[in-house]
Structure formats: structure tokens, C-alpha cells
Structure 1
Amino acid sequence: MGIRHENLDAITRGHMLEEIQIGDHYMSPRLTAEGLAAWPGLMQEAAQHHNDDWLAQQLINRNLLRSEESYTRDGVTRTRRINQPHAAQQLGEGEFNRYYIRGLCQRAEQEGKNELVIYRGKDVNTPRPESEVKIGTGVSTQTLLTTLRRNDFVTIEDAIGVPGGPNSGLTCRLP
């Protein structure tokens, strides 16, 4: 189950689409050539009509993820299998959430608000203490927007300073 986005409505979706039009999408190395070609359109379709669960499912249904990836440890390059359902969920949730928050930042600023409030939009088995302390706090829309517009795999955790990587279930809402 994906992230619950409290302010995912027509207004926020419209701002998400504006952010998607800016381009410079994160192009995951886990996507196949077909996946790389389809990714911008899938993201747009998800923002217009669906959610992160739909986006992740499309990656699986359309076979758009690689089955293996290479990585280097201790100077040795190795190959490992990709857990495709997990990779699809992580990519779908992370990128949908990133565009959702970018769109929400635009909406908040248009409504005269200069911050969003952090909340946990998805239950996690073992919440990190670093993410727990962020829940209920405000974060600058300008800081979020600037950070989340980078085209690498930037997550909400990166933007608000939570160490440990993605999958915290954190997102934002209007104050």
C-alpha cells in the first residue's frame, strides 16, 4: 500500500503536472530502455489520474524494470538480482511523493503559505527515531522545492534532513 497523500486533489494534481513539465526526471538505472522511455509519460498519467501504487504496478505489469544490477563493493564489481516488486514500490512511491510535495509547495505558495507540515503517510514496521521527531514540524516550501527539483534520487528524507534513506513513509500536507 502506498503513501496516503492528504492534499492529493485536483488543485495539487494540477501543480504536480506543472512540476512534471519542468522535466529533468530522475531516470533510475533500474529501468529498462523501454522503462526509461515510458517513465515521463507514466509519471504524468499517475499525477493526473492515479497514485503511487498505480505507478509501481505499471512498472511491474509492463516489465519496465531490469532483473539484475551491477554494484561495486571493496573495489569489486558484482551483479545481483533486483527484487522487482520492492524496486517498483520504492521508485513509484519515492518519485510520486517527490512530485506531490513539489506540487504542494507551489500550491501553498499560491495560497500565501510558506511552509508545509510533515506527517507519516504510510505505516512502517520500524520507524527511525530521526523521522519520528520530524512529524508535525513545519518545513519551508522554498527549501523543499529547491531540494526536490534536483534530478537525482532525492527523497523527502533528504530534503528534511533525515538520515538513513527512503521508505520512512513521510510526506507533507498543507498547514
Structure 2
Amino acid sequence: MGLEYRNLDTATRAEMAAEVAMDTAGGSIYLSSRLTEQGAREWPELLLAAVTTGTDDSLAQTLASKGLLKTHEESHRNGKSFTKAVPVTAATTLAEGEFNRMYLRGIASRGVREGRDIEVYRGRQSEKPRSESEALVGQRMAADTLLHDLRTNIGVDVALGLPPGPNSGLTGELT
């Protein structure tokens, strides 16, 4: 089950769509190494459709049902490479992660325009939350700083720590 997005409304979806379009036009859209060639071609359109009218769950379902993720990937251990199966949760992890990043960019863009900050909250409960994630809950961030961070740091590593990695369950809301 996807995250609870408290500010996922028409205005936020419009900002999210603009962020996806900006990344697509600029060639900076995140493409997971787990996407097949077909998946990489379809990803920008699928992400745009999800942020416009769908959810992270609908995006994950599309990725899985259309077979747009690889079944195996190369990994390394002790300096040796080997092939392993892609986790069965890969579609959910990718969809939730990227939908959440675009949601955060959307609310941060709105926050800049509306003069509001972003407050971190848990969008999905976790039985064993990471201490780094728990430390972020309730923190406020300046919308312009968060937006710059998310636009600059594409993928999973962001300077401000939001989102704090895959499956954290954290997101934000306008304050």
C-alpha cells in the first residue's frame, strides 16, 4: 500500500507534472537500472500519467503488469560479480520512491509560490523505523531549499535527507 500524501490535490498534481516535464525535457529524469529498455522508454510517460491522475500504487502495478523491470541484475560481493534476482518488491520501491520525490518537489514548488514551509511526516507506518527517519519526523524545511536539493540530487541520494532512502515511509506536507 502506498504512502498517504496529505497535499495530493489538483494544485500539487499540476506542480508535480511540471517537475516531471522539466526533467524529461532536460534529460535529467531518473531511470532506474532495473528498468528494461522498454521500461526506460516508457518511464517518463508512465510517471507523468501517475502524477497527473494516479498514485504510487497504480504506477507500481503498471510497471509489474507490463513487465517493465528486469528479472535479474548484476551485483558484487567481495570483489566478485554475480547475477541475482531482482527483488519482487522492486516495482513498488521504484514507483513509491519516484512518485514521492515528485510529490515533494510539487509541494516544495507550491511552498515557494505560497510562502509556506514543508514539514516531514510518516506517510506509512513502519514496524521498525530507522533512527535517521524518526529524527526527521516533525522537522520543517524551507520549501526553496528542499526544492533545490531535490532538483539537484536526482535519484536516491539527497543532501537534506528527504526522502531518506527507499522504503522510509516519510514524506512531507505544506505548513
**Does the alignment pair 1:108 with 2:91?**
no
Q: Where has structure 1 moved over 6 Å in runs of 4 or more?
A: none
Out of 88, 111, 116, the position equivalent to 2:91 is 88
* Equivalent residue in structure 2 for 1:148, among 150, 163, 168: 150
Structure 2 residue matching 1:160: 3-state secondary structure: coil
1:152 positional shift: 3.6
The answer to whether the 8 A contact 2:4-2:123 is kept is yes
d(CA) in 2 for partners of 1:148 and 1:163? 9
> Matches of 2:163 and 2:81 in 1, distance apart?
26
Matching of residues 24-173 of structure 1 within 5 Å? 24-84=28-88, 86-113=89-116, 115-150=117-152, 152-154=154-156, 158-161=158-161, 165-173=165-173
Q: Secondary structure at the match of 1:133?
A: helix
| Aligned residues: CA RMSD | 1.7
Give the aligned length. 171
- What secondary structure does 2:136 align onto? coil
One-letter code of the match for 1:101?
Answer: L
Instruction: Give the structure 2 partner of residue 5 of structure 1.
Output: 5
CA distance in 2, matches of 1:127, 1:11: 31
Find the aligned partners of 1:150 and 1:66 in 2 and give their Cα distance.
27
Larger CA deviation: 162-171 vs 131-140: 162-171
After superposition, the Cα gap between the structure-2 partners of 1:164 and 1:121, relative to the gap in structure 1 and judged at 3 Å, is closer
* Cα gap change, 1:97 to 1:159, in 2 (>3 Å): farther
Call closer, same or farther: CA 1:103–1:163 in 2, change over 3 Å.
Answer: closer
Percent identical residues: 43
In structure 2, the CA distance between the partners of 1:80 and 1:150, relative to structure 1 (3 Å rule), is: farther
Contact in 1 for aligned 2:104/2:172 (Cα 8 Å): yes
Scaled by the length of structure 1, what TM-score is found? Answer: 0.91
**CA 1:159/1:171 → structure 2, altered by over 3 Å: closer, same or farther?**
farther
What is the alpha-carbon distance in structure 1 between the residues aligned to residue 163 and residue 37 of structure 2?
31
Flag the 1:11–1:138 CA change in 2: closer, same or farther, 3 A: same
Consecutive unaligned residues in structure 2, runs of 5 or more: none
Q: Equivalents in 2 of 1:77, 1:19: separation in Å?
A: 36
Post-superposition shift, 1:128?
A: 1.4
- Paired letter, 1:118: V
What SS does the corresponding residue of 1:53 show, helix, strand or coil? helix
Q: Which runs of 5+ in 1 are unaligned?
A: none
CA shift digits 1:119-168 (9 cap, x unpaired) = 0001112011221122111012222212211464226xx44337973211
